[in-house]
Amino acid sequence: MKKELNTSNLEFSTRCVHSGVYKDELYNSVVTPIYPSSTFYFEGPGQTSGYDYTRTRNPTRVALEENLTSLEGGAGCTATSTGMSAISSALHLLPENAHIIAGNEIYGGTFRLFNDIMPNRAMSVSQVDMRNLDAVRSAIRPETKAIWIETPSNPLLNLTDIKAVCGLAREHDLLTIADNTFLTPYLQRPLELGVDLVVHSTTKYLNGHSDVVGGAVIAATPELAEQVAAMCNALGTTCSPYDAWLVLRGVKTLSLRMRAHEENGMALAQFLDQREEVERVYYPGLQKHPDHALACRQQSGFGGMLSFDMKGGEDRAQAFIAQLHLYSFAESLGGVESLIEHPASMSHAAMTPAGLVAAGISPGTIRVSAGIEASSDLITDMEQAFATIS
Ligand SMILES: Cc1ncc(COP(=O)(O)O)c(C=O)c1O
**Could you tell me if 316 and 277 are in contact, meaning their C-beta atoms sit under 8 angstroms apart?**
yes
**Could you tell me if 369 and 378 are in contact, meaning their C-beta atoms sit under 8 angstroms apart?**
no
Banded pLDDT at 377 (limits 50, 70, 90): very high
Inform me whether the pLDDT recorded for 251 exceeds 60.
Answer: yes
For residues 37-54, give the mean pLDDT: 97
Out of 204, 218, 243, 346, mutate this one to test ligand 1's pocket (max ligand atoms within 8 Å of CB): namely 204
For residues 132-154, give the mean pLDDT: 97
Average pLDDT of the chain to the nearest whole number: 96
For residues 91-119, give the mean pLDDT: 94
216 CB near ligand 1 (under 6 Å): no
Residue 288 appears among annotated catalytic residues: no
Peptide bond into 155 cis (omega under 30): yes
Inform me whether the pLDDT recorded for 243 exceeds 90.
Answer: yes
pLDDT tens digits, 174-228: 999 999 999 999 999 999 999 999 999 999 999 999 999 999 999 999 999 999 9
If you take atom 10 of ligand 1, which residue's CA is the nearest one? 83
Burial class of 13 by CB neighbour count within 10 A (0 to 12, 13 to 18, 19+): middle
Amino acid at 379: I
For residues 56-70, give the mean pLDDT: 98
Inform me whether the pLDDT recorded for 1 exceeds 60.
Answer: no
For residues 90-100, give the mean pLDDT: 96
Res 144: pLDDT: 98
Exactly one of 61, 112, 145, 204 is catalytic; which is it?
204
Which residue in 155, 175, 156 sits closest to 165, CA to CA? 175
Res 2: pLDDT: 59
CA of 83 to the centre of ligand 1 (A): 5
Question: For residues 341, 182, 169 and 231, what is the CA-based torsion angle, rounded to 10 degrees?
Answer: 90
Q: What percent of the chain has pLDDT over 90?
A: 91
Inform me whether the pLDDT recorded for 297 exceeds 60.
Answer: yes
Res 171: pLDDT: 98
For residues 109-131, give the mean pLDDT: 93
Assessment of whether the complete model's pTM goes beyond 0.85:
yes
Res 3: pLDDT: 62
